Amino acid sequence: MEKLWGGRFQKNTSSLMEDFNSSIEFDSKLYEYDILGSIAHASMLGKVGIISKDEAKEIVKALKEIKLDIESGNVEFKTEHEDIHMNIEVLLTEKIGDTGKKLHTARSRNDQVALDVRMYARDQVEEIIGLLKEWLETLIEISEKNIDVIMPGYTHLQRAQAILFSHNIMAYAQMAKRDIERLKSWLSIHNVLPLGSGALSGTTFPIDRQMIANMLGFDQICMNSIDGVSDRDFIIDFLGNASVGMMHLSRMCEELIIWSSQEFHFVEMDDQYSTGSSMMPQKKNPDAAELVRGKTARVYGDLINILTLMKGLPLAYNKDMQEDKECLFDGAETWIKCIKIMIPMVKTMKICDKNMENAAKGGFTNATDFADYLVKKGMAFRDAHKVTGEIVHYCIEKNINIEDVDIDKFKEFNSIIEEDLYDFIDIKNCCELRNSIGGTSSNQVLKSIEEMKKYIEKI
Ligand code: ARG
């Protein structure tokens, strides 16, 4: 079979090379974007008179048929046609003969592939923004449902202070909001049309790039043809955003895995999102959460892949760049799959509120409150810290909580301590009195939920 570029060659490509060179195995995924781009290109060629209007119409009609043929499974892509771009061009020429050969006027595969991949990435970004919105709604839903549940908050994974479970969950909502904002900023930076850059230096034909940008929904046109064909920042930024987004999911999964352990028993994953052991009959493992944590590693790998691919490439296009696709596809598909499993996994998990509350009562999570009480009675914070530390030490020795100490004993430590202390260090009050902006009181958490709801409406 003669190659589309075969004119200057005397020998056939070796079959080993054909296999090695071909990308159709993975870039066939781009068929839809390739056809959309070609339809816009052909329409533009017809409009400005580079080809006739009838020719443009014939090409567009045939391209639409090819799309249907592909979707109904009637097309077999061929390795010898290298990639999706040439496979479709060959199909076109098979369908309409010589007119099909005119499609590639004023275009190179270099600007064509840059266009296709960018449109693919843009669609993924839009889909992920939608999924993250659903994720935010899920986080809000479980926060609202469990608004009063108290749990220990941790630093160094040591019990630190009592917090509302909903406050902890809404922390992940803040992360998801930033993930959405990053993707929106991706759109404002990268929704730029590369087509019309030619092989690297533009074209001698009087093309209308604005028309193509309008047809394909691009906000801007790239203003340097060399950059147009060689820029893959849009993949790097996408995978950078994916890595951060996955890291957020992974951190939550890590918490859920710990909380699912019998030692914590703060949550129970629904059977639907857990699996068992082939050997140990009693086991129920939080596999979905573990897999999200695990898949985070592969998305980081995808990012390192594209960064390393690009670091040594001279301008403009180099064939190395054919390797830009699988990491993008993998990163996008993995991120999407992970958000999709997180939503029902979190929605269906059982919140063991009593266990959380009991844990919050232990571990002296109200020690800071005790010190704050002393400050409010006039003591300097550093002194209050010391007195509280001594009381904590006394309680550890006696194996009791602070609130179990009776008032006479407290007075031995310091006479300013009075009966009102007990209310002040009650676990519920410990949360409710933290009413500073962004604090863990239900008042503040409800405010943050309201704000998040307003944000969601504007996405
Ligand atoms: N399959 C190629 C890629 O994915 C398309 C561009 C090829 N361009 C070229 N001049 N060989 O990058």
Q: What percent of the chain shows pLDDT beyond 70? A: 100
Dihedral sign from CA coordinates of 373, 374, 377, 381 = negative
What single DSSP character describes residue 72?
A: T
Q: Kindly state if the Cβ of 230 falls inside 6 Å of ligand 1.
A: no
145 and 133 assigned to the same domain: yes
Q: What is the CATH number of the domain that holds 447?
A: 1.10.40.30
Residue-by-residue DSSP string for 339-387: HHHHHHHHHHPEE-HHHHHHHHHSTTTTHHHHHHHHHHTT--HHHHHHH
Q: What is the pLDDT of residues 35-89, one digit of tens each?
A: 999 999 999 999 999 999 999 999 999 999 999 999 999 999 999 999 999 999 9
From the CB of 322, is ligand 1 less than 6 Å away? yes
Q: What is the DSSP letter of 286?
A: -
Which residue range(s) make up the domain with 436?
362-457
* Residue with more model confidence, 7 or 456: 456
- How many angstroms does the Cα of residue 316 sit away from the middle of ligand 1? 12
Q: What pLDDT, on the 0 to 100 scale, is given for residue 2?
A: 76
Mean residue pLDDT across the chain:
96
Identify whether 441 is part of a domain. Answer: yes
* pLDDT tens per residue, range 408-454: 999 999 999 999 999 999 999 999 999 999 999 999 999 999 999 99
> CB neighbours of 164 closer than 8 A, spacing ≥ 6?
147, 148, 149, 150, 151, 431, 440, 441, 442, 445
Report how far ligand 1's centroid is from the alpha carbon of 415 (Å).
Answer: 81
Tokens of 20: 């090695």
Mutate to test the pocket of ligand 1, among 115, 322, 324, 326 (most ligand atoms within 8 A of CB): 322
Judgement on whether residues 233 and 252 belong to the same structural domain of the protein: yes
Closest ligand 1 atom to Cα of 83: 1
pLDDT of residue 3: 82
CATH code at position 223: 1.20.200.10
Rounded to the nearest angstrom, the distance between the alpha carbon of 110 and the centre of ligand 1 is 6
What percentage of the chain reaches a pLDDT higher than 90? 95
Q: Tell me which residue has tokens 């109904």.
A: 72
**Inside any domain, residue 213:** no
Question: Which of 358, 376, 392 corresponds to the end of one domain?
Answer: 358
Nearest to 260 by CA among 289, 235, 238: 289
Distance CA 247, CA 146 (A): 25
Query: Whole-model pTM?
Result: 0.95
* CATH at residue 79: 1.10.275.10
Q: What is the pLDDT of residue 237?
A: 98
**Looking at 327, 358, 389, which one is the last position of a domain?**
358
Q: Ligand 1 within 6 A of 232 CB?
A: no
Is 26 found in the same domain as 45? Answer: yes
ipTM: 0.97
Ligand 1 atom nearest 317 alpha carbon: 10
Does the C-beta of 321 come closer than 6 Å to ligand 1?
Answer: yes
Q: Are residues 193 and 330 in the same domain?
A: yes
Does 421 map to a domain? yes
Residue having the nearest C-alpha atom to atom 12 of ligand 1: 322
The pLDDT of residue 276 is 85
CA nearest to 171, candidates 439, 458, 356, 352: 439
Per-residue pLDDT at 331: 98
CA 113 to ligand 1 centroid distance, Å: 7
Tell me, using a 6 A CB cutoff, whether residue 168 lines ligand 1.
no
Q: Give the C-alpha separation, 107 to 196, whole Å.
A: 7
How many angstroms does the Cα of residue 322 sit away from the middle of ligand 1?
6
Of 103, 114, 17, 105, which is closest to residue 316 (Cα–Cα)? 114
**Residue 35 shares a structural domain with residue 98:** yes
pLDDT at 1 over 70: no
Provide the domain count of the chain.
3
In short, whether 113's Cβ falls inside 6 Å of ligand 1 is: yes
Average pLDDT over residues 251-258: 98
CA distances from 237 to 268, 326, 334, 341, 426 (A): 36, 15, 16, 24, 48
Fill in the DSSP letter of residue 285. B
How much helix, strand and coil, in percent to the nearest 5, is found in the chain?
A: 70, 5, 25
* Residues involved in catalysis: 156, 277
pLDDT at site 336: 98
Same domain? For 70 and 169 the reply is no
Q: Please write the tens of the pLDDT for every residue from 21-32.
A: 999 999 999 999
Based on the fold, state whether residues 318 and 367 are members of the same structural domain.
Answer: no
Ligand 1 centroid distance, CA of 403 (Å): 71
C-beta of 339 in contact with ligand 1 (< 6 A): no
At residue 281, the pLDDT reads 86
22 close to ligand 1 (CB < 6 Angstrom): no
- Written as six digits, the tokens of 249 are 């999911």
Task: Name the closest-CA residue to atom 2, ligand 1.
Answer: 322
* Domain edge (last residue) among 329, 358, 387: 358
Do 140 and 271 fall into the same domain? yes
DSSP of 177-240, one letter per residue? HHHHHHHHHHHHHH-EE-TT-TTTT--SS---HHHHHHHHT-SEE-S-HHHHHH--HHHHHHHH
Ligand 1: nearest atom to the Cα of 321: 12
Judge whether 405 lies within some domain: yes
Q: Which of 20, 110, 195 to mutate to test the pocket of ligand 1 (most atoms within 8 A of CB)?
A: 110
In a domain, 445, yes or no: yes
CA 65 to ligand 1 center in whole angstroms: 24
Residue 234 forms part of a structural domain: yes
The answer to whether the CB of 111 is under 6 A from ligand 1 is: no
Residue with tokens 């951190």: 251
Instruction: Indicate if ligand 1 lies below 6 Å from the C-beta of 235.
Output: no
Task: Find the 173 Cα to ligand 1 centroid distance in Å.
Answer: 41
112 and 34 Cβ atoms separated by less than 8 Å: yes
Q: Residue 8 falls within a domain, yes or no? A: no
Residues 275 and 331 placed together within one structural domain of the fold: yes
146 and 242 assigned to the same domain: yes
For 343-402, write each residue's pLDDT tens digit. Answer: 999 999 999 999 999 999 999 999 999 999 999 999 999 999 999 999 999 999 999 999
410 & 381 share domain: yes
Q: Give the residue-averaged pLDDT of 9-24.
A: 93
| C-alpha span between 21 and 96 (Å, rounded) | 28
Express each pLDDT in 109-160 by its tens digit: 999 999 999 999 999 999 999 999 999 999 999 999 999 999 999 999 999 9
Q: Is 38 in the pocket of ligand 1 (CB under 6 A)?
A: no
**Same-domain pairing of 309 and 377:** no
Q: For residue 7, tell me if it sits in a domain.
A: no
Compute φ and ψ for 423, nearest 5 degrees. -65, -40
